[in-house]
């Protein structure tokens, strides 16, 4: 363990010759195990008999031990210090060179002994200290190692080096030497989701055999196996970028390694270990206590100082992705000295290249090259560090159990070249060449200084910048950073990403209500920017989520480069959504590089599926119940071609490709386009109307398959069953290239909201063959064929979002959709279709996973989203039986410029199916409204229809039902900033025949109701008259009256126990009609009571959350190719 609680400070005197007995406090020159005590100050010098070779078994430093540049052999021979077991600095000072006099006259190597794994008796090199076998460890004390720093540690190819090339042409002169080793970065952009043998690592390591006189052209020892792109600097939006492959020098004249020749296979990936610092959280056996002045071995009174500059560390690390090859843990410097590792190389690491664990601050990692790591390149789990000018190249994905790129919930299988927590500064770093992530982080709080991240480059990786809430597993000792709560805000910034396999910048289901993204550059990425963000809490839509993307540039390719024949890639998942993805993505049309995606906002209710290889995140759930707004401003787009020479459509702006009804409010301003935008490359919306090319139904002869054909038995599982809900606000006309001063324009994808559509012209539930047959384009709207979008006059149409959510107990097991919203009074035809007398028809299928199982998933069937016009009167129609409980929100109204008092719509929804005879109660923000209903139009009872600006919850339930006509329509006023619920509630129906003329009864009805309530022992306010009509023909109508009453739960919901008790009481009272007649002061002829129960049907089989689904495997004959 960490062995000491402290010790006397090292003696302060000049070092003395190593091989002289008087130099040692013990008076004895050590021969194998060397212990430099605090009284010793020893030189590593030519007094040693084997000089310039030094052989040491184990080295413990409590005093001073140093090698100076002046000790270099006169002939420049290499000084080799062999360490058989370990180096342990315990309160001492070890120095090789210093800041003012680095080692320049010779090469110095610290070489750990090789392990003979076949010799069971040799346990010395295999024994594990707390730092690992063959450890170079600083418990506390000081390490100073300074070597020669190359003037040009990294250059770029200025000319492409093809396969077989033996010459590298660089963009600058270098000070390298023949015999040096360099690494050449991969520049090939891999395909999404590469797995197994398809994961090609194209970064190459070669030796220099000759250097031209201009120092810009070098000859290498072996022909290149892969092509590496070289180019001049490229200009985008006025900025210059070096994009040629990095060529990095891997040698330094001071080196620490494990005794293996460069490139030799190290048995069991078991290298030496550089362990700096020691805390119980990292290693068992460290001294206990708290992290205070007298706590762990390294503290402010027992500081550790690390100054490493110009050092090569090779074959380092013991196979582990949880620890670092260079592990810095609990390093607490004093106020006079800043710790740093700079201008150094970690080459062939069998663990994380450099790891700053929690408690190590402040630290500077500057100008380092980390090459060929197993796991992360640089991992920073502490705060207040400066990570600048580092290059990490070739991070390998672990083999074996990581059979695919990402194994769900296992961060070891998605290594990052840089994995950095919040509150750190990252400037001008480069991540290159890995089938992994470039930068992994949770972002940083907006309260931190601006531009803490800037100028960080990343190319030829999987995802360039990947943002997650928990970017590391618990035993990485990762700090907890919260971005939730009223003041929570996450900032993501400062990355230049190009030629990556998947995302430029991806926010992957991050929690929090405020996100700020700025200073991003994305070029030649399939997806430049994509954000899936989750609300900080489950609420009723009161908390508005906001994401701002600004001051960023996006390009489909670099200037002068050709198109890339690489389309959006669909992969097979466990419950296979591949057929839907391929059919939809490859037909509408095939998409190439995208600048920015729509931001997807979600509730934490059910925000994410189980991960890749299972369900991906097609159709993310929970989006519709949140209030959200995305602001995209001051963005530059260039080199996007809507019909490029590779047959793909590359565009600056695209919808979420995994769903078509997730769109929240997106506002654009300050959008600029370069000269490379062509053929509608500004934006595109997928087609979700009309026939689907290449797909026919069953039947003879086969018929075309249409989008939104809800009755299609063959392909219905694979098509979006709602139109695109894209609705973007061009705040200043810049997005749609309007003339200056035009002002705001609305951009929509819907063909039915922007045309004078009718139910018939939409094809009902079977889709439409010809989009133009839907109806004429509405006045104030125009269609842009290159964008597949409409632009509409924002003054004529004031659009809002209406959210409809089933909150019934069967919401996740019974599909009530699709829903239809159209202008009308709520009525349906005899065949069950909505009438939609004023047209403007819209559909919503709700969140739905488009896979071969289609409707078998829970958690995806309850939320529906519509775009509505302010002040309009709408029919809401369920194709399935309406749910027993439904919630409504109005969102995204603020942009209209109207005051809240002028915002609202009227919803008319017909009640039918299982709950048609129950009471439909109206709740506003959880408060039950007094029921307003009648068996006729409201004017028959001295009432009026609800209006769009009436008080929220104003309603009228027309329960008119006859053998020939069932209206049964609930109409209500929907206003912003409230949550409304319609709940079918249990009621008791009481029907009585009274021996009293109806005209006379009307004069006494109020007293009658109170008397009846008293007789039943219930609150009179819970009793409502449902009908008062003349008696039946069996009696003289002038002398009898039939009265229908309903008893509900008043301000709460009636439960089964109470309802049964009241019903039993009615039966008891009805048994003695004489007594009841006396109590009511009217002759009672008959009394019948019934309880109308609301009970959601439960399916016989349901699919449970977090459970595997049933998968069937079918064998078939050789000639069988399809199953129906």
pLDDT of residue 812: 67
Collapsing DSSP to helix, strand or coil, 144 comes out as: strand
Contacts of 724 (CB under 8 A, 6+ apart): 655, 660, 661, 663, 685, 686, 688, 749, 750
Cα–Cα–Cα angle for 42, 47, 53, rounded to 5 degrees: 95
Kind of pairing, strands 987-994 and 1041-1047? antiparallel
**Three-state SS across 636-648?**
EEECCECCCCCCC
> Which tens digit of pLDDT belongs to each residue from 923-958?
999 898 888 888 788 888 888 999 999 999 999 999
Of 436 and 859, the structure prediction assigns the larger pLDDT to: 436
Mean pLDDT for the stretch of residues 455-481? 88
Work out the burial of residue 950: count CB atoms within 10 Å of its CB; fewer than 13 is exposed, 13-18 middle, 19 or more buried: middle
Measured from the Cβ of residue 420, the count of other Cβ atoms closer than 10 Å reads 27
User: pTM of the full predicted structure?
Assistant: 0.88
The answer, yes or no, to whether residue 642 has pLDDT greater than 90, is: yes
User: Is residue 879 within 8 Å of 821, Cβ to Cβ?
Assistant: no
pLDDT of residue 1095: 63
Most confident of 266-280, 402-416, 623-637: 623-637
The answer, yes or no, to whether residue 558 has pLDDT greater than 50, is: yes
Query: Phi first, then psi: what are they for 1005, rounded to 5°?
Result: -65, -35
Kind of pairing, strands 789-793 and 781-784? antiparallel
What's the DSSP call for residue 545?
E
Tokens for 195, please give them. Answer: 């797995």
What are residue 346's DSSP bridge partners? 313, 370
pLDDT of residue 211: 98
Asked whether the CA dihedral 992, 996, 1002, 1003 is positive or negative, the reply is negative
Question: Per-residue b/e over 225-238, b at no fewer than 16 CB within 10 Å?
Answer: ebbbbbbeebebee
Kind of pairing, strands 1023-1030 and 1041-1047? antiparallel
Question: Which residue shows structure tokens 């120092």?
Answer: 215
The secondary structure of 311-361 as a DSSP string is EEEEEEEEEEEEEEEEEE-S-B--TT--EEEES-EEEEEEEEEEEE-TT-B
Collapsing DSSP to helix, strand or coil, 1059 comes out as: helix
pLDDT grade for 596, boundaries at 50, 70 and 90: very high
Collapsing DSSP to helix, strand or coil, 581 comes out as: helix
> Which tens digit of pLDDT belongs to each residue from 1049-1102?
777 777 778 888 888 888 888 888 899 999 999 999 999 888 887 766 544 444
User: Is residue 190 within 8 Å of 459, Cβ to Cβ?
Assistant: no
Of 336 and 781, the structure prediction assigns the larger pLDDT to: 781
pLDDT of residue 287: 46
Contacts of 968 (CB under 8 A, 6+ apart): 910, 911, 912, 916, 958, 959, 960, 961
Helix %, strand %, coil % for the chain, to 5? Answer: 10, 35, 55
Kind of pairing, strands 416-420 and 378-380? parallel
User: Is residue 325 within 8 Å of 348, Cβ to Cβ?
Assistant: no
**CA of 105: how far to CAs of 53, 74, 243, 685, in Å?**
16, 8, 36, 65
Least confidently predicted of 235-244, 649-658, 803-812, 869-878: 803-812
What's the DSSP call for residue 958?
E
Question: Which residue shows structure tokens 């009394």?
Answer: 1087
Collapsing DSSP to helix, strand or coil, 939 comes out as: helix
Collapsing DSSP to helix, strand or coil, 195 comes out as: coil
Q: How far, in Å, CA of 1114 to CA of 1013, rounded?
A: 65
Work out the burial of residue 119: count CB atoms within 10 Å of its CB; fewer than 13 is exposed, 13-18 middle, 19 or more buried: exposed
> Which tens digit of pLDDT belongs to each residue from 991-1013?
999 999 888 888 888 899 899 99
Q: How far, in Å, CA of 184 to CA of 207, rounded?
A: 11
Tokens for 203, please give them. Answer: 């970064």
pLDDT of residue 1119: 60
Q: How far, in Å, CA of 1052 to CA of 1030, rounded?
A: 33
Question: Which residue shows structure tokens 């900080």?
Answer: 536
845 conformational bin, left if phi > 0, alpha if psi -120 to 50, beta if neither: alpha
Tokens for 1076, please give them. Answer: 């009841």
pLDDT of residue 4: 44
> Which tens digit of pLDDT belongs to each residue from 472-524?
876 677 888 889 877 789 999 999 999 999 999 999 889 899 999 999 999 99
User: Is residue 354 within 8 Å of 370, Cβ to Cβ?
Assistant: yes
877: nearest Cα among 800, 816, 945: 816
What's the DSSP call for residue 395?
E
> Which tens digit of pLDDT belongs to each residue from 54-111?
999 999 999 999 999 999 999 999 999 999 888 989 889 999 999 999 999 999 999 9
Work out the burial of residue 591: count CB atoms within 10 Å of its CB; fewer than 13 is exposed, 13-18 middle, 19 or more buried: buried
The answer, yes or no, to whether residue 188 has pLDDT greater than 60, is: yes
Cα of first residue to Cα of last residue in the chain, in angstroms, is 66
pLDDT of residue 1103: 40
User: Is residue 397 within 8 Å of 405, Cβ to Cβ?
Assistant: yes
Q: How far, in Å, CA of 60 to CA of 4, rounded?
A: 12
The answer, yes or no, to whether residue 275 has pLDDT greater than 90, is: no
To 10 degrees, what angle do helices 998-1016 and 1056-1070 make? 120
What are residue 591's DSSP bridge partners? 649
> Which tens digit of pLDDT belongs to each residue from 281-328?
444 444 444 444 344 445 545 568 899 999 999 999 887 767 889 988
User: Is residue 686 within 8 Å of 584, Cβ to Cβ?
Assistant: yes
> Which tens digit of pLDDT belongs to each residue from 695-721?
777 667 887 888 888 777 655 544 556
User: Is residue 60 within 8 Å of 4, Cβ to Cβ?
Assistant: no
Rg (CA), the chain: 37
Supply the mean pLDDT for the chain. Answer: 84
Collapsing DSSP to helix, strand or coil, 223 comes out as: coil
Q: How far, in Å, CA of 859 to CA of 30, rounded?
A: 72
Asked whether the CA dihedral 295, 299, 303, 306 is positive or negative, the reply is positive
Mean pLDDT for the stretch of residues 660-671? 87
The secondary structure of 433-473 as a DSSP string is EESSEEEEE--EETTSPTTSEESEEEESSSEEEEE-S--S-
**CA of 896: how far to CAs of 729, 778, 780, 903, 1052, in Å?**
10, 19, 16, 9, 36
What are the structural domain ranges in the chain? 154-249, 727-793, 799-983, 987-1092
Tokens for 504, please give them. Answer: 């430029």
pLDDT of residue 1102: 41
Kind of pairing, strands 246-249 and 154-156? antiparallel
**Three-state SS across 245-314?**
CEEEECCCCEEEECCCCCCCCCHHHECEEEEECCCCCCCCCCCCCCCCCCCCCCCCCCCEEEEEECEEEE
Reported CATH class of domain 987-1092: alpha beta
Question: Which residue shows structure tokens 């500004």?
Answer: 682
């Amino acid at each position: 363990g960490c062995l000491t609680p402290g010790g006397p400070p090292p003696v302060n005197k000049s070092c003395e010759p190593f091989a002289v007995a008087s130099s040692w406090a013990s008076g004895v020159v050590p021969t194998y195990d060397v212990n430099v005590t605090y009284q010793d100050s020893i030189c590593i010098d030519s007094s040693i008999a084997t000089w310039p070779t030094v052989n040491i078994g184990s080295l413990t430093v409590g005093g001073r031990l140093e090698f100076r540049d002046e000790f270099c052999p006169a002939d420049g021979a290499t000084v080799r210090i062999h360490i058989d077991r370990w180096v342990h600095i315990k309160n001492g000072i070890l120095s090789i060179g210093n800041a003012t006099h680095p080692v320049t006259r010779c090469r110095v190597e610290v070489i750990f002994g090789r392990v003979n794994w076949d010799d069971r008796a040799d346990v010395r090199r295999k024994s594990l200290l707390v730092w690992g076998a063959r450890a170079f460890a600083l418990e506390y004390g000081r390490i100073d190692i300074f070597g020669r720093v190359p003037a040009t540690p990294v250059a770029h190819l200025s000319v492409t080096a093809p396969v077989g090339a033996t010459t590298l042409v660089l963009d600058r002169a270098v000070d390298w030497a023949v015999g040096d080793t360099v690494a050449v970065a991969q520049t090939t952009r891999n395909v999404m989701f590469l797995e197994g043998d398809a994961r090609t690592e194209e970064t190459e390591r070669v030796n220099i055999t000759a250097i031209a006189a201009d120092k810009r052209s070098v000859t290498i020892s072996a022909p290149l196996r892969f092509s590496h792109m070289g180019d001049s600097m490229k200009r985008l939006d006025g900025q210059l970028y070096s994009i040629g492959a990095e060529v990095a020098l891997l040698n330094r004249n001071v080196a620490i390694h494990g005794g293996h020749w460069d490139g030799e296979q190290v048995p069991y990936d078991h290298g030496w270990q550089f362990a700096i610092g020691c805390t119980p959280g990292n290693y068992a056996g460290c001294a206990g206590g708290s992290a205070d002045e007298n706590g762990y071995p390294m503290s402010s009174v027992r500081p550790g100082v690390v100054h490493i500059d110009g050092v090569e560390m090779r074959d380092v690390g013991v196979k582990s992705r949880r620890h670092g090859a260079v592990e810095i843990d609990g390093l607490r410097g004093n106020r006079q000295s800043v710790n740093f590792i700079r201008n150094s190389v970690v080459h062939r690491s069998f663990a994380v290249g450099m790891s700053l664990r929690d408690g190590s601050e402040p630290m500077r990692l500057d100008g380092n090259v980390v090459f060929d790591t197993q796991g992360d390149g640089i991992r920073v789990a502490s705060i207040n560090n400066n990570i600048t000018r580092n290059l990490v190249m070739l991070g390998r994905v672990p083999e074996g159990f990581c059979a695919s790129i990402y194994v769900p919930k296992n961060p070891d299988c998605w290594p990052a070249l840089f994995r950095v927590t919040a509150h750190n500064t990252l400037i001008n770093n480069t991540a290159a060449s890995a089938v992994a992530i470039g930068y992994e982080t949770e972002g940083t709080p907006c309260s931190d200084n601006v531009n803490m991240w800037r100028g960080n480059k990343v190319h030829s990786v999987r995802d360039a910048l990947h943002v997650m809430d928990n970017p590391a597993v618990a035993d990485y000792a990762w700090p907890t950073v919260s971005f939730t709560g009223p003041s929570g805000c996450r900032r993501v910034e400062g990355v230049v990403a190009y030629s990556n396999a998947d995302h430029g910048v991806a926010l992957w289901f991050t929690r929090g209500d405020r996100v700020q993204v700025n200073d991003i550059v994305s070029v030649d990425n399939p997806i430049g920017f994509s954000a899936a963000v989750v609300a900080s809490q489950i609420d009723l839509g009161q908390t508005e989520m906001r994401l701002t993307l600004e001051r960023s540039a996006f390009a489909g390719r670099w200037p002068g480069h050709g198109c890339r024949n690489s389309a959006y890639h669909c992969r097979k998942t466990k419950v296979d959504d591949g057929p839907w993805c391929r059919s939809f993505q490859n037909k509408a049309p095939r998409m190439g590089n995208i600048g920015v995606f729509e931001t997807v906002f979600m509730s934490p209710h059910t925000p994410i599926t189980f991960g890749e290889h299972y369900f991906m995140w097609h159709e993310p759930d929970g989006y519709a119940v949140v209030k959200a707004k995305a602001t995209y401003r001051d963005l530059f787009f260039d080199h996007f071609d809507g019909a490029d020479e590779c047959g793909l459509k590359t565009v600056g702006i695209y919808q979420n490709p995994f769903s078509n009804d997730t769109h929240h409010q997106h506002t654009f301003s300050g959008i600029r386009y370069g000269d490379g935008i062509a053929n509608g490359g500004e934006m595109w919306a997928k087609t979700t109307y009309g026939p689907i090319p290449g797909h026919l139904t069953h039947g003879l002869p086969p018929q075309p398959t249409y989008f939104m054909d809800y009755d299609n038995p063959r392909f219905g599982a694979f098509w979006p069953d709602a139109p695109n809900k894209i609705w973007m606000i061009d705040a200043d006309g810049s997005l749609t290239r309007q003339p200056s001063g035009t002002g705001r324009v609305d951009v929509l994808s819907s063909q039915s909201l922007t045309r004078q559509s009718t139910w018939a012209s939409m094809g009902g539930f079977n889709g439409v063959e010809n989009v133009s047959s839907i109806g004429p384009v509405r006045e104030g709207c125009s269609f842009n064929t290159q964008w597949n979008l409409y632009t509409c006059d924002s003054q004529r149409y004031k659009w809002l979002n209406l959210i409809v959510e089933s909150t019934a107990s069967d919401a996740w097991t019974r599909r009530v959709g699709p829903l239809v919203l159209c202008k009308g009074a709520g009525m349906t035809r005899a065949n069950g279709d909505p009438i939609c007398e004023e047209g403007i028809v819209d559909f919503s299928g709700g969140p739905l996973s488009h896979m071969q199982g289609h409707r078998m998933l829970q958690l995806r069937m309850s939320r529906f989203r519509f775009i509505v016009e302010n002040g309009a009167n709408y029919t809401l129609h369920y194709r399935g039986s309406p749910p027993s409980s439904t919630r409504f929100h109005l969102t995204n109204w603020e942009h209209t410029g109207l005051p809240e008092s002028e915002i609202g719509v009227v919803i008319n929804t017909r009640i039918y199916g299982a709950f048609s005879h129950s009471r439909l109660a109206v709740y506003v923000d959880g408060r039950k409204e007094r029921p307003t209903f009648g068996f006729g139009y409201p004017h028959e009872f001295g009432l009026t229809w609800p209006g769009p600006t009436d008080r929220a919850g104003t309603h009228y339930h027309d329960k008119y039902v006859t053998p020939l006509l069932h209206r049964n329509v609930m109409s209500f006023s929907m206003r912003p900033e409230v949550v409304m619920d319609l709940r079918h509630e249990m009621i008791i129906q009481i029907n009585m025949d009274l021996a009293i003329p109806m005209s006379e009864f009307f004069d006494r009805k109020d007293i009658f109701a109170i008397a009846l309530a008293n007789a039943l022992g219930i609150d009179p306010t819970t009793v409502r008259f449902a009908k008062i009509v003349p008696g039946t023909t069996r009696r003289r109508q002038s002398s009898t009256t039939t009265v229908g009453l309903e008893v509900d739960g008043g301000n709460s919901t009636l439960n089964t126990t109470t309802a049964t008790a009241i019903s039993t009481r009615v039966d008891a009272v009805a048994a003695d009609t004489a007594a009841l007649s006396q109590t009511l002061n009217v002759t009672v002829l008959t009394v019948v009571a019934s309880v109308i129960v609301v009970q959601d049907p439960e399916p016989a089989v349901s699919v449970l959350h977090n459970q595997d689904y049933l998968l069937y495997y079918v064998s078939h004959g050789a000639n069988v190719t399809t199953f129906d």
